[in-house]
């Protein structure tokens, strides 16, 4: 079975949703790309990506904890509490890395393959960007190198961001793609539930 968030042979596009995230982006050259790839390979410690690292580790550990919860429930509960505290601390690290002018959520169109976002500056096609994306409300920092697919002026100026930029992820950890996929599926389920409740409420 193909992953519902990933493209299959018949469906090449990633599943997309509109969402609010924290976002920073800047153009990068080959030297910066190599540095970012070192960070993505976990050879360089990085406070921005630590929460995503911990979250991926927590998901792997959850399977192990489930294996001995019945045998040692108190130990399993203690390990889960420690894991939650570490994840909470890691997310504080992530938010500390965000510049003050980037702490306002931005509406984007997000997929595990890239995103579309409003920008204050124009980018050229195929220009490479460092993308620092924070998923909300989890506060998971995703670091990636993206390539500009298109950049066009939009009719409505969204907070002094007159350009719409579409970026395809070029360098991103597969574990981070999985986190984006999980986030998208969760947000999609929430939006479907909200629409259903609104429809049911409107019928009263």
Ramachandran sector of residue 66 (left: φ over 0; alpha: ψ -120 to 50; beta: rest): alpha
- Please state the rounded mean pLDDT for residues 35-45: 80
46/80: higher pLDDT: 46
Angle at 172 between CA 57 and CA 95, to 5 degrees: 65
pLDDT tens figures, 99-124: 888 889 999 999 999 999 999 999 99
Residue 36 pLDDT > 80: yes
Q: What is the pLDDT of residue 116?
A: 97
pLDDT tens figures, 153-182: 987 766 789 999 999 999 999 999 999 999
Q: Give me the architecture of the 17-202 domain, per CATH.
A: Beta Barrel (2.40)
Which pLDDT band, with edges at 50, 70 and 90, does 1 fall under? very low
Q: What percent of the chain is modeled with pLDDT above 90?
A: 47
Which pLDDT band, with edges at 50, 70 and 90, does 60 fall under? low
CA atoms lying within 13 Å on the CB side of residue 188: 14
Q: What is the pLDDT of residue 83?
A: 65
Q: What is the DSSP pairing of strand 106-111 with strand 17-27?
A: antiparallel
Q: What is the pLDDT of residue 61?
A: 66
pLDDT tens figures, 69-86: 667 777 767 767 776 767
Q: Where are the domains of the chain?
A: 17-202
């Amino acid at each position: 079975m193909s992953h519902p968030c990933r493209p299959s042979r018949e469906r090449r596009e990633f599943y997309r949703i509109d969402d609010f995230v924290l976002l920073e982006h800047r153009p990068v050259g080959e030297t910066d790309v190599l540095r970012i790839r070192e960070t993505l390979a976990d050879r360089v410690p990085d406070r921005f990506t630590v929460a995503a690292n911990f979250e991926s580790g927590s998901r792997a550990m959850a399977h192990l904890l489930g294996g001995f919860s019945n045998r040692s429930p108190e130990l399993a509960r203690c390990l889960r509490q420690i894991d939650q505290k570490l994840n909470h601390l890691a997310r504080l690290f992530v938010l500390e890395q965000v510049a003050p002018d980037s702490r306002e959520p931005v509406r984007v169109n997000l997929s595990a393959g890239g995103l579309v976002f409003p920008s204050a500056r124009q980018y050229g096609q195929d220009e490479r960007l460092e993308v620092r994306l924070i998923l909300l409300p989890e506060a998971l920092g995703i670091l990636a190198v993206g390539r500009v697919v298109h950049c066009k002026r939009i009719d409505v100026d969204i907070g002094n961001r007159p350009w719409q930029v579409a970026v395809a992820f070029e360098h991103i950890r597969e574990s981070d793609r999985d986190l984006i996929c999980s986030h998208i599926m969760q947000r999609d389920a929430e939006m479907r539930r909200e629409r259903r409740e609104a429809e049911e409420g409107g019928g009263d």
